[in-house]
Amino acid sequence: MEYKIIKFQEHGDQRGMLVALEDNKELPFQIKRVYYLYGTKSGERRGFHAHKELQQILICIHGSCKIHLDNGTDTAEVLLDKPTEGLYVSHNMWREMYDFSKDAVLLVLASECYNEKDYIRNYDEFIKLTRKKDN
């Protein structure tokens, strides 16, 4: 499973809506870190990296943004515009985030703590590593 949209259960009533996420229930890994992107300037593109081990779930809890995914062979573009949907992204997947609406808040649930050594920030290196794995 390299990437997948996960639909979360909504707990709504006349007061409003609520989504709850728990390890190993709604999520395929234990969360070690949470961070969020907001105030992203119009036209900015972020990301430009892959991870060696890290898995993530990206949830646009407010507004919208798009995610470009690339496994070294195929690419995909995913629109995130619902607080009830998460995009699971495996390791070894190049990602770029773009087309952020002004009000976008992109919440990220991560399987590992922040570790710069887990990043592949050079696209040519990423392609070389994925080709090596395929052989």
Residues 6+ apart with CB under 8 A from 90: 1, 2, 3, 55
Q: Does 66 bind ligand TYD (CB under 6 A)?
A: no
The structure tokens 């809506």 sit at: 17
From residue 44, how far is each of 28, 47, 80 by CA, in Å? 30, 10, 16
Could you confirm whether 91 is annotated as catalytic? no
Q: Which of residues 33-62 bind ligand TYD (CB under 6 A)?
A: 33, 35, 37, 46-47, 49
- Could you tell me the smallest distance in angstroms from the CB atom of residue 66 to ligand TYD? 14
Q: Show Cβ contacts of residue 19 under 8 Å, excluding neighbours closer than 6 positions.
A: 8, 9, 10, 11, 83, 84
Q: Which is nearer to ligand TYD, 10 or 62 (CB)?
A: 62
Q: How far is the CB of 16 from ligand TYD (least distance, A)?
A: 29
For ligand TYD, the closer CB: 8 or 98: 98
Are 98 and 68 in contact by the 8 Å Cβ rule? The answer is yes
Residues acting as catalytic residues: 49
Return residues touching ligand TYD (CB under 6 A). 33, 35, 37, 46-47, 49, 114
